[in-house]
Structure 1
Amino acid sequence: ASGGSLRVRVTAVGEQTALSGIMRLVAAAQASGSRTQALADRAAAILFYVAVASGAITLTYWWFSGDKEHALIRTATVLIIACPHALGLAIPLVIAISTSLGAQNGLLVKDRLALERARNLDMVIFDKTGTLTRGSPAVSGVAAGPGTNENDLLAHAAAVEANSEHPLAKAIVTEAKRRKVSTLQAADFEALPGRGGKALVNGKTIVVGGPRLLTESKVVVPPEVQKWTTAWAADGKTVLYVVAEGRLLGALVVEDEIRPESKEAVTELHQLGIRVAMITGDSKTVADSVARRIGIDEVAAEVLPAEKASAVKRFQAGGKKVAMVGDGVNDAPALATADVGIAIGAGTDVAIESAGIVLVRSDPRDVVGAIKLSRASYRKMIQNLIWATAYNIVAIPVAGGLFVRKGIDLPMSVGAVAMSLSTIIVAANAQLLRRLKLRPRGPVKKRNLSEITTSFYF
């Protein structure tokens, strides 16, 4: 309505906006090198010398045959028809179109070589939390130990986790707020990578973590808590324990919904002949449960953040070409180690910086799209190279008059048209790449409530 007011908060301007960032990535990808482009450049350089040599041979042959005018016409025809226009456009056109097509479908190519390597992948490795799952865990159960209650347990756990940025920590804090639990103050917080976190709360050392931390602390689990944790573990859920000065206060279970698109992505990767693996800090029980639900072939469980890159190297054993898909700071070394690093667009800046391909949407099916784009682009490049090379192999002898005595002659005007036609064919073939369907067929409508998993510190 007129006369009203509108308050707008500007979070980025100019080159800091997401659109500018996308434009920079696309421009950099189109300008970046390509092995196939290097091959085409070498072929074009060779063709230049072949054209000059063919022109010289043609001129010499017809000149000394006595027909000097015909010699000049033949030589000009050879030089016209041998112009490497088609060869020069064979690869750059495909690169420009594939990069543009990828951007239109939410695939930002930072490194052309990464996209080229994607066509030969043997395996795709997914980080679990935030990639195969929604990355929005929630507390779904609380088991208080003797001498405490659920609210007291949550209050101590939330006090520790209020200082952490981990999704699980946020889930515990959110649950405490939802229950309107009294807030406790914590000091000297310390993150324990792959295990949990600890802090001083009311003068006591409170530790929150998973089974690994419990084993290290050698804390005894009371029967009334054990019955719950055993049931949760049997369901493939991750249990977090709260320990105060060596005594167990209780346990929490945190669940994270599997993305409904994950199973479809795994199925489509299998159809492309690619195996699928998962790296997670979860216990093997939880990891195997997730793997069974969505059809994952191999699992690396209980992997600490610092061990992710090493886990990728193990998957690369035997010369396997692998891609790593992740979204967190802890995934950055693994993304850089993999043959192809793919970052989820909703992930951290560090992960995106380490990847060669960035998925704008947090949809694992876009990994399939990236591989299809890689394979289709390579096919178009090879088709264009074959056409441009074959055209010159056939056209140069004809233009030089090699078959004149057999009644096959090529006028200069026809040679000019043939040269232009070969360029048009290469350009048209590259444009056919736009027919490739990369975007997933649509969101998965059904969400099975059993498709719930848990997340563990990593």
Structure 2
Amino acid sequence: MPENEMPQHEATKEEKCPVCGMPNCHMDHSNMGTDHNMHNMHNMHDMHDMDHTHHDMNDMHHDMSDMHHDMSDMHMDHMDHMEHMHDMTSMDHSDHMDHMSHMGHDMHDMHDMHDMSHMHHMHHDMSDVSAANRAMFGMHAAMFRRLFWIALALGIPTIALDPMFAMLLHYSLPDNLVMRLIPAALGTLMYVWPGRPFLTDGVSEAKRKKPGMMLLIALGITVAFVASWLATLNILAIPTFWWELALLIIIMLAGHWIEMASVASTSTELDAFAALLPRQAHVLDSAENLTSAHDVDLAQLQPGDIVLVKSGETVPADATILSGTGSLNESMLTGESLPVTRHAGDHVTAGTILTDSSLVVEVQATGSHTTLSTIQRLVETAQAKKSPTQLLADRAAALLFWYALIAGVLAFAVWFAVSANLPVALERLITVLVIACPHALGLAIPLVVSTAMGDAAAHGILISDRSALEKLVSVSTVAFDKTGTLTTGTPEVVDVVALSQIISADDALLWAASAESASEHPLAQAIVRKVVGDSPADSHHTLPSASAFTSTPGVGVSAQVEGHHVLVGGKALLTAHDVSLPSDFAWIDPKFGPTTTVFVVVDGVLSLALHLKDTVRTSSRHAIDELHRMGVHTVMITGDSDEVAQSVASELGIDEVLSNIRPDQKADAISSLQSNGDHSGSAHSDHTHGDCAHNGHAQVVAMVGDGINDAPALAQADIGIAIGGGTDVAASSAQIVLGGSDPAQVARAIQISRLTMRKMHQNLWWAAGYNLITVPLAAGVLAWPPLNFSLPMAVGAALMALSTVIVVINARLLGWQLKK
């Protein structure tokens, strides 16, 4: 598998539009965030020229009987907030287009729900910060911005004409019924219009039995609203709260506006994936006829299509190069900014940019089957899973609601009992309800994780399990597979030593290449290249066919070639078949240094020894140095001989070497490392499997590998990391997939984890500390002599908004730190 190829997964089920709930909907709903004219939706569905959808209307599930199920799957639980809509299941389905139009009319009032943020409760569960949800956050930001300006326009006269505010600032107002009713009317309008998101979401939280911030706010402004009307109508002999109510709504709308705008811009790296693909592709009738190019929409591209990619254009689909050589910017996949040269036969990935020349490619995968889609699914699936820290924060946020509600009721009871002053008791109750902020706890983790995973994805680090992001911070040991991880994985045959007088070296080498041609092992491919060169099509040698091929991991291969029984493998193969080495055999040639030795046995006769040498990646030394700087112990696990392993370890400065490890022993080697405690002062230790000391101190071990043989070890490790995309099996066993082949990305992943956990802890301490301190203050614990300090309602609302904004800003600062 090419280094840069990501694992392909099964196509996901048809995706539903986060706005309308329809499957495979391609309509532009962006206007809903501004004018919200949902009553025009039926016109959009009735139109016959929906060019922007790339699909005929017939593709839109004619069976409307499933429509209510689709609607129930909306990302934001629309149906929780659609009580005033007609029963969707009662629709007559005989004419789906008529009823699509009817649906548009039934949804005429749905713009109110978007305007009033009936779906706003979704931001309480930030664990699914998908691209669709981030778009919805942007719509909410626009909605809150609009409601803020409306509230400000209504709030200024409400505050200015409120007798209590006038008394506070020592100016006079006419004392008549009209002047008393004006702030009441304006305050009522503010309560039911700009204040409606808090009311509807508060009701939604109560219905879903998940009380939180919006229910607390709804209770607070409702108490202020009811008490103010009772005072205005002289039912209660208390002052009105109209100006406080207006100021509460203005401040909270401003806070939510800032919050939603910040959330919408979080993890923009993930959103950028969708913009990587072109709208159309140049499809050719044949690879030879470049003049036959005609443009087709990307949605119509199929595997097997021949496509021309011109200089400066983006590769439209995962494909194989048929002709041409070009440099491609693969930074979206690997995080590496330098272009990579690709030749005929190489794999290219959708979303990569051809910086020069032109390529003719054959499409291998499109749409949801591409590497680009796999990246998005990996990250968004990971974001949908809650980590242990997130679950803890969620539980704390749920408890905080009851903490605030009980504190508010107790404050009201105590103040009323002690002072018999109903206005003061009401003010304490309202202040406690509006100052508490479970939402800050709810946002503390997901916003940080979303920012971190977006940055990681931009650097070619795909985190498929959110818990791995938290585990990485505790990693004490990183174990690397050697071949393909620390080395390039493309070894070369540097020396051929004839060991038989009966069989010629040329014949033995040719038969060995034939036997190895069915194997994907890097050493096998090196032997094949030695015979046929890098381009088999241009080679003067044709490999004879091989039959009865078998492969034994850690030993070698066996095959029948031109009537000969051919064995190819290492020292273990000689032992397994009872073949003896010449007593004077030289394992190490001073000219080449330590090499990997592969033997060829033909018809039971030891015929050939091949010395192969792999090239250490230029970035491997930097990777090891960075890990050492972080205090991480490094280990190399390899099936190579002690001499080869020690040579590579010495070159890179690796702390510990586990050599002669067969593939089936790698998982046990990882288990031994997990049990091995003190690595302080360790040097290169020539361990083989089972030699590790056990002193009872558990280690957190990350395993980095790229092949099928590494899958058990990746699964055994605390964190499995597949490098270079890995094989499908290795990637499926890993919690982190590195799109590039740079082992330094491991250090980058640990750095991201450490900064992320630091931000998580900062946000959690702030959110928890804020609520623990401000709720008692709002209840008036310091309002007694000699301090006589109490928080006004407006200050409480401002502090609540500020607490959330601080959490959001701190999460955004992580993005800035990661880019340094």
TM-score scaled by structure 1? 0.91
Is residue 165 from structure 1 mapped to residue 526 from structure 2 by the alignment? no
2:369 alignment partner, one of 6, 9, 16? 16
Paired AA for residue 480 in structure 2: F
Aligned residues of 1:232 and 1:239 also touching (Cα < 8 A)? no
Inter-CA distance 250–288: structure 2 relative to 1 (3 Å threshold): same
Aligned to 2:344: none
Aligned residues of 1:44 and 1:88 also touching (Cα < 8 A)? yes
- Alpha-carbon distance between aligned partners in 2 of 1:436 and 1:413, rounded to the nearest angstrom: 34
Is residue 192 from structure 1 mapped to residue 552 from structure 2 by the alignment? yes
Is residue 97 from structure 1 mapped to residue 456 from structure 2 by the alignment? no
- Alpha-carbon distance between aligned partners in 1 of 2:427 and 2:459, rounded to the nearest angstrom: 50
Structure 1 residues 58-79: Cα deviation after superposition (integer angstroms, max 9, x where no partner): 0011111211111001110011
Aligned to 1:87: 441
Aligned to 1:175: 530
Aligned to 2:244: none
- Alpha-carbon distance between aligned partners in 1 of 2:552 and 2:591, rounded to the nearest angstrom: 22
Paired AA for residue 110 in structure 1: S
Q: How does 1:114-193 map to 2 (within 5 A)?
A: 114-145=468-499, 146-178=501-533, 180-181=540-541, 183-193=543-553
Paired AA for residue 454 in structure 2: S
- Alpha-carbon distance between aligned partners in 2 of 1:222 and 1:75, rounded to the nearest angstrom: 93
Structure 1 residues 106-128: Cα deviation after superposition (integer angstroms, max 9, x where no partner): 11110011111110011001111
Aligned to 1:68: 422
- Alpha-carbon distance between aligned partners in 2 of 1:412 and 1:427, rounded to the nearest angstrom: 23
- Alpha-carbon distance between aligned partners in 1 of 2:610 and 2:540, rounded to the nearest angstrom: 17
Is residue 342 from structure 1 mapped to residue 721 from structure 2 by the alignment? yes
Aligned residues of 2:726 and 2:737 also touching (Cα < 8 A)? no
Structure 1 residues 193-239: Cα deviation after superposition (integer angstroms, max 9, x where no partner): 1011122233332211112222444434457x824x44269822111
Is residue 53 from structure 1 mapped to residue 406 from structure 2 by the alignment? yes
- Alpha-carbon distance between aligned partners in 2 of 1:220 and 1:180, rounded to the nearest angstrom: 34
Aligned to 1:205, the other structure's residue is in SS state strand
Is residue 373 from structure 1 mapped to residue 752 from structure 2 by the alignment? yes
Structure 1 residues 260-308: Cα deviation after superposition (integer angstroms, max 9, x where no partner): 1111101110111110111111111111111111011111111111111
Is residue 211 from structure 1 mapped to residue 590 from structure 2 by the alignment? no
Aligned to 1:448: none
The alpha carbon displacement at 1:132 in A equals 0.7
Inter-CA distance 232–314: structure 2 relative to 1 (3 Å threshold): farther
Aligned residues of 1:105 and 1:438 also touching (Cα < 8 A)? no
Aligned residues of 1:263 and 1:295 also touching (Cα < 8 A)? yes
The alpha carbon displacement at 1:158 in A equals 1.1
- Alpha-carbon distance between aligned partners in 1 of 2:576 and 2:549, rounded to the nearest angstrom: 19
The alpha carbon displacement at 1:99 in A equals 1.4
- Alpha-carbon distance between aligned partners in 2 of 1:419 and 1:140, rounded to the nearest angstrom: 70
1:414 alignment partner, one of 795, 801, 818? 795
Paired AA for residue 657 in structure 2: V
Aligned to 1:269: 627
Aligned to 1:308: 666
Is residue 201 from structure 1 mapped to residue 580 from structure 2 by the alignment? no
Aligned residues of 2:437 and 2:803 also touching (Cα < 8 A)? no
Paired AA for residue 169 in structure 1: A
Aligned to 1:190, the other structure's residue is in SS state strand
Inter-CA distance 50–346: structure 2 relative to 1 (3 Å threshold): closer
- Alpha-carbon distance between aligned partners in 2 of 1:233 and 1:161, rounded to the nearest angstrom: 27
Q: Report percent identity of matched pairs.
A: 47
- Alpha-carbon distance between aligned partners in 1 of 2:753 and 2:724, rounded to the nearest angstrom: 19
Aligned to 1:226: 585
- Alpha-carbon distance between aligned partners in 2 of 1:4 and 1:417, rounded to the nearest angstrom: 66
The alpha carbon displacement at 1:187 in A equals 2.3
Paired AA for residue 789 in structure 2: I
The size of the alignment, in residue pairs, is: 436
- Alpha-carbon distance between aligned partners in 2 of 1:345 and 1:21, rounded to the nearest angstrom: 15
- Alpha-carbon distance between aligned partners in 1 of 2:725 and 2:654, rounded to the nearest angstrom: 23
Aligned to 2:292, the other structure's residue is in SS state coil
Paired AA for residue 368 in structure 1: A
Aligned to 2:600, the other structure's residue is in SS state strand
Tell which has more relative contact order, 1 or 2 (C-alpha 8 A, sep 6+): 1
- Alpha-carbon distance between aligned partners in 1 of 2:502 and 2:437, rounded to the nearest angstrom: 88
Is residue 37 from structure 1 mapped to residue 383 from structure 2 by the alignment? no
Aligned to 1:226, the other structure's residue is in SS state coil
Aligned residues of 1:186 and 1:200 also touching (Cα < 8 A)? yes
Is residue 292 from structure 1 mapped to residue 645 from structure 2 by the alignment? no
- Alpha-carbon distance between aligned partners in 1 of 2:580 and 2:724, rounded to the nearest angstrom: 43
The alpha carbon displacement at 1:46 in A equals 2.1
Aligned residues of 2:566 and 2:600 also touching (Cα < 8 A)? yes
Paired AA for residue 226 in structure 1: F
1:249 alignment partner, one of 593, 598, 607? 607
What are structure 2's unaligned runs of at least 5 residues?
Answer: 1-281, 283-289, 294-305, 308-361, 534-538, 676-696
TM-score scaled by structure 2? 0.51
The alpha carbon displacement at 1:184 in A equals 3.2
- Alpha-carbon distance between aligned partners in 2 of 1:351 and 1:82, rounded to the nearest angstrom: 47
Aligned to 1:408, the other structure's residue is in SS state coil
Segment drifting more, 259-268 vs 238-247: 238-247
Aligned to 2:216: none
Aligned to 2:618: 260
The alpha carbon displacement at 1:380 in A equals 0.6
Inter-CA distance 356–249: structure 2 relative to 1 (3 Å threshold): same
- Alpha-carbon distance between aligned partners in 1 of 2:364 and 2:545, rounded to the nearest angstrom: 32
Inter-CA distance 182–126: structure 2 relative to 1 (3 Å threshold): same
Inter-CA distance 208–370: structure 2 relative to 1 (3 Å threshold): same
Aligned to 1:10, the other structure's residue is in SS state strand
- Alpha-carbon distance between aligned partners in 1 of 2:404 and 2:751, rounded to the nearest angstrom: 37
Structure 1 residues 408-452: Cα deviation after superposition (integer angstroms, max 9, x where no partner): 22110111011001111111111111023479xxxxxxxxxxxxx
Inter-CA distance 180–415: structure 2 relative to 1 (3 Å threshold): same
Paired AA for residue 386 in structure 2: G
Aligned to 1:342, the other structure's residue is in SS state strand
Specify the structure having the higher radius of gyration (Cα). Answer: 2
Aligned residues of 2:505 and 2:607 also touching (Cα < 8 A)? no
- Alpha-carbon distance between aligned partners in 1 of 2:444 and 2:657, rounded to the nearest angstrom: 42
Aligned residues of 2:508 and 2:602 also touching (Cα < 8 A)? no
- Alpha-carbon distance between aligned partners in 1 of 2:547 and 2:441, rounded to the nearest angstrom: 67
- Alpha-carbon distance between aligned partners in 2 of 1:180 and 1:280, rounded to the nearest angstrom: 35
Aligned residues of 1:115 and 1:356 also touching (Cα < 8 A)? no
Aligned residues of 2:725 and 2:737 also touching (Cα < 8 A)? no
- Alpha-carbon distance between aligned partners in 2 of 1:264 and 1:5, rounded to the nearest angstrom: 48
Aligned to 2:520, the other structure's residue is in SS state coil
Aligned to 1:451: none
1:77 alignment partner, one of 422, 428, 431? 431
The alpha carbon displacement at 1:246 in A equals 2.7
- Alpha-carbon distance between aligned partners in 1 of 2:372 and 2:608, rounded to the nearest angstrom: 48
- Alpha-carbon distance between aligned partners in 1 of 2:405 and 2:591, rounded to the nearest angstrom: 75
Inter-CA distance 233–240: structure 2 relative to 1 (3 Å threshold): farther
- Alpha-carbon distance between aligned partners in 1 of 2:383 and 2:390, rounded to the nearest angstrom: 11
Structure 1 residues 78-110: Cα deviation after superposition (integer angstroms, max 9, x where no partner): 111013121121111112111111111111110
